[in-house]
Amino acid sequence: MSASRLATAVLLLLCSLSQAREVLRFAIDAHNPPFMYVDGQGVAQGLYAQTLRQLGERAGLTLRIEAIPWKRALAYLEQGSHGVAGIYRNEERQRKYLFSKPIYREELVVYARKGHAMAAYSGIASLYGKRVGVLSGWFYSDAFSRARDEKRLLADEAARDAQNVDKLRLGRLDYLIGIRESIAALNQGELEEAGILASNLTYIALPDSPRSRALLLQLNPHIADLPDKARAP
């Protein structure tokens, strides 16, 4: 065995022993059902909480999963105290964090009020000059981020999808962007799909450190073994 492989093996063993004794902290969004949310007892629930629990059990790790506002989850990831599940990957995040193998794929849909003759979504220019409901702290796509930074559209932030749905119903938004499954539970027939903004893979993100690299070596082999609903296509 080469010296580098031996060092990696020793690091993995030491980290595994350490992680088996400690509680590893992860955060998910508290307001994004059915993917991630907090229940009435304050317990993290949803697809990504379930995925983390399954991975922890299979890897022999003890995880503490906290459902909190998404901006706070991202702040904890930035500080290095938590991993985050259900996150999209982009260039900025890849420079700062480590990412697991994909765990799911989310389809981001542009919605309009039914019967109000809004143009179908045919590209980011369709949103220029429009007020678009988004979730606070969320990344949607590189094209959307550029349009937002260049002030070609007005991104109206909310903490949860239900708030954006209400604003769209009341005519305070031209469009909203949401995951199809999340909006379906809130749509009482007043909203219609205007098009697909993006189809994004989701991941587990960890602070960039040797300890996190060893943790990913433990988690990644089990991702392919998750039930179909908890794996990316």
Confidence class for position 1, pLDDT limits 50, 70, 90: low
Q: Are residues 138 and 205 in the same domain?
A: no
Q: What is the pLDDT of residues 63-98, one digit of tens each?
A: 999 999 999 999 999 999 999 999 999 999 999 999
Parent domain of 162: 106-200
pLDDT value at position 230? 46
> Which CATH number covers residue 221?
3.40.190.10
pLDDT value at position 28? 98
Average pLDDT along the chain: 91
Q: Are residues 153 and 141 in the same domain?
A: yes
Q: Are residues 158 and 175 in the same domain?
A: yes
Q: Residue 17 pLDDT more than 60?
A: no
Positive/negative CA dihedral, 83, 88, 92, 98: positive
Which of 143, 222, 135, 210 minimizes the C-alpha distance to 179?
135
Q: Are residues 92 and 36 in the same domain?
A: yes
Q: What is the pLDDT of residues 106-141, one digit of tens each?
A: 999 999 999 887 889 999 999 999 999 999 999 999
The pLDDT > 70 percentage for the chain reads 88
pLDDT value at position 120? 93
Q: Are residues 11 and 40 in the same domain?
A: yes
Q: Are residues 187 and 215 in the same domain?
A: no
Q: Are residues 166 and 78 in the same domain?
A: no
Q: What is the pLDDT of residues 145-185, one digit of tens each?
A: 999 999 999 999 999 999 999 999 999 999 999 999 999 99
Tell me how many domains the chain contains: 2
pLDDT value at position 216? 97
> Strand, helix or coil at 16?
helix
Q: Are residues 114 and 194 in the same domain?
A: yes
Give helix 210-223 / helix 3-21 axis angle, nearest 10°: 80
Confidence class for position 2, pLDDT limits 50, 70, 90: low
Q: Are residues 30 and 74 in the same domain?
A: yes
Q: Do the strands 191-207 and 97-99 form a parallel or antiparallel pair, or are they unpaired?
A: antiparallel
Q: Are residues 138 and 216 in the same domain?
A: no
Q: Are residues 210 and 100 in the same domain?
A: yes
Q: Judge contact between 107 and 196, C-beta under 8 A.
A: yes
Q: How far apart are CA 72 and CA 26, in angstroms?
A: 12
Q: Residue 22 pLDDT more than 80?
A: no
pLDDT value at position 226? 82
Q: How far apart are CA 125 and CA 130, in angstroms?
A: 10
pLDDT value at position 6? 46
Q: Are residues 9 and 123 in the same domain?
A: no
Q: Residue 3 pLDDT more than 70?
A: no
